[in-house]
């Protein structure tokens, strides 16, 4: 049986949106203001997809082919006159075909991808959940309303992947990974390396 396709507007960005992750945006281009209004009226999502290579003069940006649906959970006018929105990631999708509208908005036919398998966080990774418990409250209001699931391997791996300063291609690779344990395995060496470098820094108080 052929899977049904959906047509959604795309918002290409230089970031990766993970399922259940927050994304604040400042909207100023007319095409995206109109897109936001349409999504709010229809309670519909739009697609966030990472830019692979920026647009050259007279050309179009090259995009990765997998992204994440974004649902608007809050919006407000900003002091500078722009529109501020807060989105939350939901389901991942695969781009099948794109078409640009007359106003420049990119529309895409997409296939929705299955969610990660629900797996309990293994004991070997519980220290990562403890790390998140300490870090997320320091990131302000974005995570204040999050449905925290520190015992869920997928949720923990996605939160780590989105907050760590990883290179964009690695973040995209982690988004496209469908096994939360494999995602954690890919993150663990990076985290251990960062911890080792931190432990090796000289003590500024030493004389």
- Can you tell me the distance from the alpha carbon of 158 to that of 171, in angstroms, rounded to the nearest whole number? 10
CATH 2.30.130.40 domain locations along the chain: 6-112
State phi, psi for 20 to the nearest 5 degrees: 75, 5
Give Cα 82 to chain centroid, integer Å: 22
Fold of 6-112: 2.30.130
Domain with CATH 1.20.58.1480 in the chain: 123-199
Is the confidence at residue 53, as pLDDT, over 80? Answer: yes
pLDDT of residue 61: 80
Antiparallel, parallel or unpaired: β 46-53 and 83-100:
unpaired
Cα Rg for the chain, rounded, in angstroms?
19
Q: Cα separation of 157 and 95, whole Å?
A: 24
Q: What is the mean pLDDT of residues 37-44?
A: 95
CA 178 to each of CA 11, 197, 199, 207: distance values in angstroms, whole numbers, following the listed order: 23, 30, 33, 50
Query: Which CATH number describes the domain made up of 123-199?
Result: 1.20.58.1480
pTM: predicted TM-score of the whole model, two decimal places:
0.88
- Give CA–CA dist 36/79, Å, rounded: 19
* More confident position, 201 or 80: 80
HEC per residue, 39-89 = HHHHCCCEEEEEEEECCCCCCCCEECCEEEEEEEEEEEECCCCCEEEEEEE
**CA–CA distance, 195 with 200 (Å, rounded to integer):** 9
The model's confidence at residue 29, banded by pLDDT at 50, 70 and 90, is: very high
């Amino acid at each position: 049986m052929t899977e049904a396709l959906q047509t959604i507007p795309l918002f290409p960005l230089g970031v990766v949106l993970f399922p259940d992750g927050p994304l604040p945006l400042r909207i100023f281009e007319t095409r995206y203001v109109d897109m936001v209004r349409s999504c709010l009226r229809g309670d519909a999502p739009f697609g966030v997809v990472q830019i692979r290579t920026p647009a050259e003069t007279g050309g179009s940006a090259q995009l990765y082919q997998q992204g994440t649906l974004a649902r608007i959970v809050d919006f407000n006018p900003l002091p500078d006159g722009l529109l501020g929105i807060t989105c939350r990631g939901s389901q991942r999708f695969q781009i099948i075909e794109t078409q640009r509208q007359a106003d420049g908005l990119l529309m895409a036919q997409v296939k929705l991808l299955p969610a990660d398998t629900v797996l309990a966080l293994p004991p070997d990774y519980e220290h990562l959940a403890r790390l998140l418990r300490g870090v997320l409250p320091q990131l302000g209001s974005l995570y204040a309303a999050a449905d925290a699931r520190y015992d869920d391997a997928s949720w923990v791996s996605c939160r780590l992947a989105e907050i760590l300063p990883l290179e964009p291609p690695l973040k995209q690779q982690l988004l496209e990974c469908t096994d939360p344990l494999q995602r954690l395995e890919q993150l663990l060496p990076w985290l251990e390396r960062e911890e080792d470098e931190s432990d090796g820094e000289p003590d500024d108080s030493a004389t």
